[in-house]
Structure 1
């Protein structure tokens, strides 16, 4: 709904929903966008229950959780190969799945915004970040062809190399999501509480030993910046726990543990965080 609200201000957007009731509400009342709980905008959108009309789009943005992707693969394979697909899942475990799709163009994206769905047609934009977009497969002029957002609160940044942006987001997710679940706190507390901060640094060191991506200090500071920018946000993983849903811990820390095993790296803090989140998830579910 966040993408629909911002892109829908300049484009005809279709939202494909899992429930008829949600499609009906969006069609009748539009998408309600709350910006930091102060400003409200209502954006008209065409909402459809199921996949009716999914093959008639200029581009498809797939916004489901990573663990739900396997259920969509057969549907996505039926989409004409000329229609670009854009995936915005957390983690990197789904990249192998994308290799099985026949589409000529596949895009991947990371999203730094803080957003929360309030009801079937209302989304609150709590932390302004940016969307990072890159081509995973095919030839695609992103600046020319990707839908535009002219609102400065929804910037879209284009990158030539997908692995860099996805690894950076993976690292941020691997630190912020599990730790907010373990300590049951909002994002900003990971920086404000010196003991939480120490564990954040320890886990960062372990992850960086597996993914030595550029300047270590710059990368760590960028993750701290995300914590501060979204300090009042409840992380997506903590929201999943609070609402009794499955988390993406396997797609995030699980993926890192698999890479660490292949490289023969010892990552005890990551292993501990993974097991703790899995235990909390089982208790809450």
Structure 2
């Protein structure tokens, strides 16, 4: 089966390079003719740095308007670009085609499921880390296990074997929404503070200790409504373990700010706030954090949503 990847950012390039390295047929779908021309000028090559090893791998690319119908589409765009990107290839999606959403946060996945009822929309919790060192050169910066599932249920797809054969370590997750909600809570507890205090993950408790202490119980209330109930001690332990294990890391939201790019606030903190209001929850620390982060982004000249 041909695997089409929509989005040539760090994650899209990382997955495409690993599929190509394993001789799995794949194609990148690029955003416009200029991007495709630049790709062809580089002879359709992707550089993959994996530890001490470096590979140069050929990955064919095309535009959304190419004619071939799509069986499996991996959407590797930013969350705020996902719906527009999907719409650009919608006429090529076969009935029953599978769409795998790799986005951060929540909201973009549900929107895709609603917009494409004739296709099977799968969600992924991605723990791979990737950095673009230069155009078409990607560094595999962090190795993890990707958890993939279908909120509507059903069996694991056959192509999961191909991902694992390509060193895209993946496992089938029967309750993917619970996984993504818990990941959302962790991101809400870390990412906004890294922007507000311009600090790596490990320094969040130093700058936001009292706020973090107040926020975690509110996140637990939110999870109790939308996910399986998590004990407060368990959630706090998980969040602090992630802070410690990624202490030197700069969150994706902080990296976006440093690079002058739009953040995914609306699909992380914004989504949490909207869902809390929908459920009638009073979560003042979460609301205040959202307001402060929006104010900070506006001051930096970046979109607040």
Pick the aligned partner of 1:105 from 117, 120, 126.
120
Paired residue secondary structure (1:103): coil
After the TM superposition, which of the residue ranges 168-177 and 111-120 deviates more from structure 2? 111-120
Distance 2:282 2:294 in 1: 20
Higher relative contact order (CA 8 A, sep 6+): 1
2:55 to 39, 42, 49: 42
Q: TM-score, normalised by structure 2?
A: 0.81
C-alpha contact 2:19 2:166 (8 A) present in aligned 1:
no
Assess if the C-alpha contact under 8 Å between 2:46 and 2:59 holds in 1.
no
2:104 aligns with 90
Change (3 A) 1:43 1:269: farther
Give the alignment of 1:122-133 within 5 angstroms. Answer: 122-133=137-148
Unaligned runs of 5+ in 2: 1-12
* Alignment of structure 1 residues 87-236 onto 2, 5 Å: 87-94=101-108, 95-137=110-152, 139-142=154-157, 144-146=158-160, 147-150=162-165, 154-190=168-204, 193=206, 195-212=207-224, 213-236=229-252
* Residues 54-112 of structure 1 deviation map (CA, whole Å, 9 limit, x = unaligned): 74444111011111123124334311123210001122222134212133311100112
In structure 2, the CA distance between the partners of 1:25 and 1:47, relative to structure 1 (3 Å rule), is farther
What secondary structure, in the 3-state scheme, does the structure 2 residue paired with 1:149 have? helix
Deviation at 1:252, TM superposition (A): 1.2
Quote the offset at 1:254 in angstroms: 1.1
> Aligned with 2:237: secondary structure?
helix
**1:3: Cα distance to partner?**
1.6
Sort the Cα spacing of 1:225 and 1:14 in 2 relative to 1 into closer, same or farther, 3 A: farther
Give the one of 288, 292, 302 matched to 1:272.
288
Report deviation, 1:249: 0.8
Q: SS at the partner of 2:48?
A: strand
Among candidates 76, 81, 86, match of residue 68 of structure 1 = 81
CA distance in 1, matches of 2:289, 2:194: 11
The answer (yes or no) to whether the contact 1:7–1:149 under 8 Å persists in 2 is no
Partner SS state of residue 123, structure 1: strand
What is the DSSP-based 3-state SS (H/G/I as helix, E as strand, rest coil) of the residue aligned with 2:150? strand
Worse-matched range after superposition: 232-241 or 68-77? 68-77
Q: Which stretches in structure 1 are left out of the alignment for 5+ residues?
A: none
Q: 1:73 to 1:51 in 2, by over 3 A?
A: closer
Q: Over the residues paired in the alignment, what is the CA RMSD in angstroms?
A: 2.5
> In structure 1, how many angstroms separate the alpha carbons of the residues matched to 2:152 and 2:95?
12
Using the size of structure 1 for normalisation, the TM-score is 0.86
Asked if the contact 1:107/1:133 (under 8 Å) is kept, the reply is: yes
* CA deviation string 1:143-194 (max 9, x = no partner): x332322476x42121112211110111122122111111111222225x3x
Tell me the SS of whatever aligns to 2:289. Answer: helix
Tell me if the contact between 1:22 and 1:121 (Cα under 8 Å) persists in the aligned partners.
no
